[in-house]
Structure 1
């Protein structure tokens, strides 16, 4: 299959998903992924198509394949972030909380300014029982990203307490 043919087929499948026809998109992407097993972008889009349909377990191998590619054959930074978030979130949805935390921690290390990754990590940490770390992440994110004037008024206090909600002064 030529790269041009691949691009046309991939664009058509993504278009189907965007048009609200996710099952048709998934079918085409599965077929394309079978023909292009080392194509990171195709693997990522195939994983996404499974997730949209609630087929999380089937999405995992596609996410892993997408993330395994490196160099020029790999994902763009934006797609890599999306694939890491998707895989981490999928693990959480499947009850595979430790894998979710590990995936999302690595993603946050790689992309420390991504608030969505930190939010999903906080959810996974909550599921593992690490409520302190979960609250710390969310409070810090709130303090640093909120435009709400009342939050900004108390930003320093929120950031201070985010470090240890149990501290008594």
Structure 2
């Protein structure tokens, strides 16, 4: 099968998902993933289709394949999405340590991605590391808030984010 045919089939499957026909999309994507097992983009879209349906355990191997497949690489945006998807899926499945490891690596790779930092904070909370979880979220709020009152207190928020137990 040619790349043009693969691209057309993949676009059609993604279109089904975007139209809300998630079961049909998943069925098509599973078929495509079987045909192109080393195709990162197909694996990523297949993982996503499983996640949309709440089939997180079934999504994991597709996310892992997407992040290691060699036939076609993921775009930067899709790599971010696959890392976030895998980390979030691990968290939903109660695999908190794997979620933290995946999301921590993703944050190192994409340090400016607030969504990755947010999901890492959630996973850290689940592991009991409440202090680091709150620190990440406070830094994110201080750096990204458009709220005038938050901006006014940004230096204080950033200071206390480093040591939540600090007093004056």
Q: Which residue matches 1:108?
A: 107
Aligned to 1:146: 145
What is the deviation of 1:74? 1.1
CA shift at 1:167, angstroms?
1.4
- CA deviation after TM superposition for structure 1 residue 137, in Å: 0.2
Structure 2: give runs of 5+ residues left out of the alignment: none
Q: TM-score of the superposition, structure 2-length normalised?
A: 0.98
Distance in 2 (CA, whole Å) between partners of 1:73 and 1:49 is 19
Aligned residues: 168
Q: What is the Cα deviation at residue 99 of structure 1?
A: 0.1
Report the TM-score when normalising by structure 1.
0.98
Aligned Cα RMSD in Å? 0.9
Show CA shifts across 1:31-78 (max 9, x none): 0100000000000000000000000000000000000035x7210110
> Which residue is 1:29 aligned to?
29
Which secondary structure does the structure 2 equivalent of 1:44 belong to? helix
The list of structure 1 runs, each at least 4 consecutive aligned residues, that deviate by more than 6 angstroms after superposition, is none
Structural mapping, 1:9-158, within 5 Å = 9-70=9-70, 73-158=72-157
